[in-house]
Structure formats: structure tokens, C-alpha cells
């Protein structure tokens, strides 16, 4: 019987240590590169680190280290080498000629994972745009890669059929994708305006990739009064498990509701061009009324991951939006957490402190709600119906002059129906 499974690519990972400060150690950064490689469905067979103060222009790591990598590829029967930093097209061409296998860098690897994960039309367009913008300046140096047929990391995604086009054709495709994304943005604006008109606040989950955002989203969906398994989102213990933006309406037991949005996770060494290319996905964070910054408290690099997320939010100009930091995965053990002012320790997996989180969300989103008593004339029955359908009524009496309703309402509705206000 023939085996139908596709053989996994075998990858040698290469990193450069230049005495970086305030980031991952080179070992930790290489471990993350290994996780990214696994997320791209490849097997890591060796990791090589070059300690060098200066980058070598032709080969990035120098001829001696290139020979070490070549021997490692030969010994491990690897078919791909992945560098932990961006390479130029010329460097890729030189390295491929010397080592004899496909050469990729960290950005190409992340783009490949995005290509695998993208599900919606807009996400696929964003992936293709990022791929083409990445490859356009590398066309000369990547001639070998661009003409190679077959699958594997670096050849997947919506953009692969475009790679042998000349620069003019690629630029035309880039312009067309930008036009389609702009059109999709118009539709998003219409949807957003409708949400604002209906006064439904938005909560966005942000954080480092694999911090547990999708698990938390499913936990909060489960806490909603209207539970539907089809509303759950994909979750997996893997970097970039979620690429597409998912939005779900959360209706609580007191009829308060909000839109909960899951966004793509951040990662260290995320190039500015990649942030820009996926800005349409991350725009959900820009338009939120509240950000929930999900942190994997069990990760040894939690502080660094928090800093990466904060930096990206600043780059997106989303750092002025109210934010609650959530130290997630506390079910994995006891951690010493230096809590920020607005923070909660939770477990999205077990549900620990989720009730406290929902209470906090309500306090932030609905701080302008006011308790009031309205006397609604029977002739204005539609107003009474609206209040009963929209809010949780604490008391309702049928009086001679109309319906007396005790209820907590938004400041907008408080002002809208001020003529019916009575002393509670």
C-alpha cells in the first residue's frame, strides 16, 4: 500500500549572535524560530549559531560558517536552511550556490505560515500582497527559488502562481490587491458604523502568538447566554494558529452585549513591512473600546513578549485605548507575576477568574450606564418594549398613568428618554 503522507522537509536553522540587548537571548530566539518551523510543518534537524560582531555582506555569516552549515545539511540530509534574520536576494543566491539547498529567512517563513492559515478572502489577499512585496526586491537574487517547481516552505500561498511574472506584472498585481483590500475596508467601515449606531462596544483580544487568545475567546463565548458551538473559533497550541480576524457577539445575562474580536498574534522580529501589510487585520484593535492584552504567564519570556505587543500597538497608534492585561495559563503552575495596575490572572483553559474578567469588562464598557426609573405612557408602548428588550429590567409596575420601569440604561438612552424620568 502506498503511503499518502507527504514527507516533511528537514530544516537546519541558522542564527547570528551580535550581543543583542533587551530582547530574546539568541538561544531563546532560535527556539522560537524552531517553533515557527514546526508550525510550517517542517522538522528541525540542526541549529547553528554564528557569534560574529559584523555581518558578512556576501553570505551574512561568513565563508567558514557557510561550510559548517553545508556539512550539517549533508550529514542530516536536510533540504532547507532557514536563517533567523532577513536576507537579501543576493545573499540567498550565494548561500544556495554554496550549500546546495533552498535558503529562506525568518520573514519568508512567517509569510509561509500565514499562507497556510489564511482562510478568508481578505486574509488571503493580505498574504499575497505581503508575499509579493517581500519577493519583488529579491527577484534577481531569488531566481533559483522562483523557478523551482514543487511544494514546501517558501512556495506556498496565494501568490505562488505570480512569482515568474516580471516586475511590471507583479507591481500591477500589487496595485490590484491594494484596490481590493481598500474595497473590503469600505465594507468594514459600513459594518463598523452600523455597530456604532447600535451602540454595541467592541473588545479586541491582542497579544503574542500562542498566548491563548482563541482559547479565551471560546471561553467567553461559552459564558454568553446564547451558546452556539458554530460560533467557536479555531484554537491550537501552535504559533500563528489564528490568522483571520474573528468577531462574535457576546450577550450577557443582564442583556448587556459587546462584540469580541480575536486578532492575529504578534511575534518578535516582525518586520515593519509585515505589520503594514496586515494592518487591515489589526485595524480591529484600532477601533476597539477595550483591549484585552493576553499574556502567557507560563512563558519564561513573558516580559519580552509583552514588550513586543506593546511596541506593535504603539506602531498602530492603538496604545491610547483602555487596556486590561490578562496573565493567562495560570493553570500550568505557580508563577511570580509582577502585576500591572489593570491586570487579572486567569486560565482560559479552566475558566479560573473568567467571572471576574467579565465583571471588569462590564465595568469598563458600561461605566456610563445609569440606573433610572421611567414612567412610560401606555400610548408610548414601543418605548417600554425597547427598554425591556434592550436592558435587564429590575422592576416593572403598571400604574394608572403608565408603565413604571426601573432599569439601568446607557447615557444615550438616559438622555433620549429623559422626558419620562421619575424619581426612583
Asked if 73 and 165 sit in the same domain, the reply is no
**359 within a domain of the structure (yes/no):** yes
Instruction: Check whether 35 has a pLDDT greater than 80.
Output: yes
Q: What is the CATH number of the domain that holds 389?
A: 3.30.70.240
Grid coordinates representing 152 are 514546501
Asked if 145 and 279 sit in the same domain, the reply is no
Match 483553559 to its residue by C-alpha cell.
349
Asked if 80 and 13 sit in the same domain, the reply is yes
Last residue of one domain, picked from the residues 146, 179, 212 = 179
Asked if 288 and 385 sit in the same domain, the reply is no
* Cα–Cα distances in angstroms (integers) from residue 322 to residues 289, 291, 360, in the given order: 7, 6, 12
**187 within a domain of the structure (yes/no):** no
Q: Whole-model pTM?
A: 0.73
pLDDT at residue 101, as a whole number: 95
Arithmetic mean of pLDDT over the chain: 81
pLDDT at residue 149, as a whole number: 42
Nearest alpha carbon to residue 349 among 230, 236, 228: 236
Asked if 387 and 328 sit in the same domain, the reply is no
Nearest alpha carbon to residue 343 among 285, 289, 292, 290: 292
Asked if 103 and 122 sit in the same domain, the reply is no
pLDDT at residue 162, as a whole number: 45
Asked if 253 and 301 sit in the same domain, the reply is yes
Backbone torsions φ then ψ of 283, nearest 5 degrees: -60, -25
Instruction: Check whether 238 has a pLDDT greater than 90.
Output: no
CB 135 within 8 A of CB 277: no
**283 within a domain of the structure (yes/no):** yes
- pLDDT by residue (tens digit) across 133-178? 888 887 754 544 444 444 667 666 655 444 455 678 888 889 999 8
How far is 90 from 137, CA to CA, in rounded Å?
Answer: 10
Asked if 99 and 238 sit in the same domain, the reply is no
**79 within a domain of the structure (yes/no):** yes
Q: What's the total number of domains in the chain?
A: 4
Name the more confident of 366 and 11.
Answer: 11
Which structural domain range is residue 266 located in? 199-365
Asked if 214 and 342 sit in the same domain, the reply is yes
Least confident of 162-166, 171-175, 227-231, 271-275: 227-231
* Cα–Cα distances in angstroms (integers) from residue 318 to residues 9, 289, 357, in the given order: 39, 10, 21
Asked if 226 and 360 sit in the same domain, the reply is yes
Q: What is the CATH number of the domain that holds 57?
A: 3.40.50.11060
Give how far the C-alpha of residue 29 lies from the chain's centroid of Cα atoms, to the nearest Å.
19
- Sign, CA torsion 29/32/36/42: positive
Asked if 284 and 251 sit in the same domain, the reply is yes
**22 within a domain of the structure (yes/no):** yes
Long-range interactions of 230-236: CB distance < 8 A, separation 24+: 233/262
pLDDT at residue 79, as a whole number: 93
**185 within a domain of the structure (yes/no):** no
Residue 71 C-beta-side C-alpha neighbours within 13 Å: 7
CB atoms within 10 A of CB 214: 22
- Sign, CA torsion 182/186/189/195: negative
| Largest Cα span, the chain | 95
Match 541549529 to its residue by C-alpha cell.
47
Grid coordinates representing 209 are 502568538
**189 within a domain of the structure (yes/no):** no
CB atoms within 10 A of CB 154: 26
Last residue of one domain, picked from the residues 110, 133, 152 = 110
Most confident of 66-70, 304-308, 350-354, 394-398: 66-70
Q: What is the CATH number of the domain that holds 347?
A: 3.40.50.300
**329 within a domain of the structure (yes/no):** yes
Instruction: Check whether 412 has a pLDDT greater than 80.
Output: yes
How far is 37 from 153, CA to CA, in rounded Å?
Answer: 9
Give a three-class secondary structure readout of the chain.
Answer: CCCCCCCCEEEEEEEEECCCCCCCCHHHHHHHHHHHHHHCCEEEEEEEEEECCCCECCCECCHHHHHHHHHHHHHHCCCEEEECCCCCHHHHHHHHHHHCCEEEEHHHHHHHHHHHHCCCHHHHHHHHHHHHHHHHHHCCCCHHHHHCCCCCCCCCCCCHHHCCCCHHHHHHHHHHHHHHHHHHHHHHHHHHHHHHHCCCCEEEEEEECCCCHHHHHHHHHHHCCCCCHHHCCCCCCCCCCCCCCEEEEEECCCCCEEEEEECCCECCCCCHHHHHHCHHHHHHHHCCCEEEEEEECCCCCHHHHHHHHHHHHHHCCCCCCCEEEEEECHHHCCCCCCCCCCEEECCCCCCCCHHHHHHHHHHHHCCCCEEEEEEECHHHHHHHHHHHHHCCEEEEEECCCCEEEEEEECHHHHHHCHHHEECC
Query: What's the mean pLDDT in 367-374?
Result: 89
- pLDDT by residue (tens digit) across 53-93? 788 999 999 999 999 999 999 999 999 999 999 999 899 99
Last residue of one domain, picked from the residues 110, 134, 162 = 110
Asked if 68 and 149 sit in the same domain, the reply is no
- pLDDT by residue (tens digit) across 375-390? 999 999 999 999 998 8
Backbone torsions φ then ψ of 365, nearest 5 degrees: -75, -35
Amino acid at each position: 500500500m502506498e503511503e499518502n503522507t507527504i514527507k516533511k522537509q528537514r530544516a537546519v536553522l541558522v542564527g547570528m549572535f551580535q550581543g543583542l540587548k533587551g530582547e530574546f537571548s539568541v538561544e531563546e530566539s532560535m527556539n522560537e524560530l524552531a517553533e515557527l518551523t514546526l508550525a510550517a510543518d517542517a522538522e528541525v534537524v540542526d541549529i547553528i549559531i554564528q557569534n560574529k560582531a559584523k555581518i558578512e555582506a556576501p553570505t551574512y555569516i561568513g565563508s567558514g560558517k557557510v561550510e559548517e552549515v553545508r556539512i550539517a545539511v549533508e550529514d542530516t540530509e536536510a533540504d532547507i536552511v532557514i536563517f533567523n534574520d532577513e536576507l537579501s536576494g543576493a545573499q540567498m543566491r550565494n548561500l544556495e550556490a554554496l550549500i546546495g539547498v533552498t535558503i529562506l529567512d525568518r520573514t519568508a517563513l512567517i509569510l509561509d505560515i500565514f499562507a497556510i492559515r489564511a482562510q478568508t478572502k481578505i486574509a488571503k489577499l493580505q498574504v499575497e500582497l505581503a508575499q509579493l512585496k517581500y519577493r519583488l526586491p529579491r527577484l534577481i537574487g531569488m531566481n533559483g527559488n522562483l523557478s523551482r517547481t514543487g511544494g514546501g516552505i517558501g512556495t506556498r500561498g496565494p501568490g505562488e502562481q505570480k512569482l515568474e511574472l516580471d516586475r511590471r506584472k507583479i507591481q500591477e498585481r500589487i496595485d490590484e490587491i491594494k484596490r481590493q483590500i481598500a474595497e473590503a475596508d469600505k465594507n468594514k467601515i459600513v459594518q463598523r458604523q452600523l455597530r456604532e449606531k447600535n451602540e454595541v462596544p467592541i473588545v479586541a483580544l491582542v497579544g503574542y502568538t500562542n498566548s491563548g487568545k482563541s482559547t479565551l475567546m471560546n471561553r467567553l463565548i461559552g459564558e454568553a447566554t446564547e451558546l452556539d458551538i458554530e460560533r467557536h473559533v479555531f484554537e491550537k497550541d501552535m504559533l500563528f494558529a489564528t490568522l483571520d480576524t474573528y468577531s462574535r457577539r457576546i450577550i450577557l445575562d443582564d442583556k448587556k452585549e459587546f462584540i469580541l474580536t480575536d486578532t492575529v498574534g504578534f511575534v518578535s522580529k516582525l518586520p515593519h513591512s509585515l505589520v503594514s501589510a496586515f494592518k487591515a487585520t489589526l485595524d480591529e484593535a484600532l477601533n476597539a473600546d477595550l483591549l484585552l492584552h493576553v499574556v502567557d504567564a507560563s512563558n519564561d519570556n513573558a516580559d519580552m513578549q509583552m514588550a513586543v505587543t506593546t511596541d506593535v500597538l504603539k506602531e498602530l497608534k492603538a496604545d491610547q485605548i483602555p487596556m486590561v492585561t490578562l496573565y493567562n495559563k495560570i493553570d500550568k503552575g505557580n508563577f511570580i507575576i509582577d502585576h500591572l495596575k489593570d491586570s487579572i490572572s486567569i486560565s482560559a483553559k479552566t475558566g479560573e477568574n473568567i467571572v471576574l474578567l467579565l465583571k471588569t469588562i462590564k465595568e469598563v464598557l458600561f461605566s456610563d450606564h445609569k440606573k433610572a426609573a421611567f414612567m412610560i405612557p401606555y400610548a408610548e408602548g414601543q418605548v417600554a418594549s425597547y427598554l425591556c428588550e434592550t436592558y435587564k429590567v429590575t422592576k416593572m409596575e403598571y400604574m394608572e398613568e403608565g408603565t413604571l420601569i426601573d432599569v439601568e440604561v446607557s447615557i444615550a438612552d438616559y438622555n433620549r428618554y429623559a422626558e419620562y424620568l421619575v424619581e426612583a
